[in-house]
Amino acid sequence: MESVANQISAKYKKKAVVDVRSGDSVKVHQKVREGGKERIQIFEGLVLRVTRRGSLSSAFTVRRVASGVGVEKTYLIHSPNILKIEVVKRTKVRRNYLTYMRELTGKSARLAGVDFDREAVNVVHDEAAEVEEAKIHEESLAKHDELAAKEAEEEAKEEAKAAEALAKHEAKSEAAKIEEQPKE
């Protein structure tokens, strides 16, 4: 018999998640909401630590250097805002928490890579996340098409105005030519 807490947490867990380990280089696809718009932001970096593996609150910390400044983000694996986690590179490490990587730069920050089956690790189909990603993509395409239609409509109006002005100008110039001709 499963406890009530485990039943509730199982309801919110994702069905399939990528096996993320310390020392992996990952791309995290995160859903970001800015005002009324949603977009997908990709954060790529080195996994420094993975905590509470197997639970609903399991998390991992990713570090990257952006413009000379180290940036660390901690993500919950089962968060609905995380659409996809993609393991790019797997390295050999002997610790779970790679704090020493914060002080290292350049060649000393390199880790020895390990061969792994990239397709087997990254093939995790979460239908809900894929549907959400497709929906966001379709919304952005629809907005783009709507803006393009508005621009085309405005351009057509400008073309019509220009053609009308040109026709008026030609009519005036024809009338001026007729008046200039000597009368017999």
Q: Which fold has domain 4-125?
A: SH3 type barrels. (2.30.30)
Domain chopping of the chain, boundaries: 4-125, 126-184
The three-class DSSP label of residue 124 is coil
112-124 pLDDT per residue, tens: 888 888 877 877 7
CB-based burial label for 89 (10 Å; 0-12, 13-18, 19+): middle
CB-based burial label for 64 (10 Å; 0-12, 13-18, 19+): middle
78-111 pLDDT per residue, tens: 998 998 899 999 999 999 999 999 898 889 888 8
11-42 pLDDT per residue, tens: 888 887 888 999 999 999 999 999 888 899 99
Name the β-bridge partners of 73. Answer: 62
CA distance 21 to 28: 14
What's at 175, amino acid-wise?
A
pTM beyond 0.75, yes or no: no
Task: Return the structure tokens found at 136.
Answer: 């966001």
Q: Judge whether 78 and 10 are in contact, CB under 8 Å.
A: no
Task: Output the pLDDT for position 1.
Answer: 64
55-78 pLDDT per residue, tens: 888 999 999 999 989 999 999 999
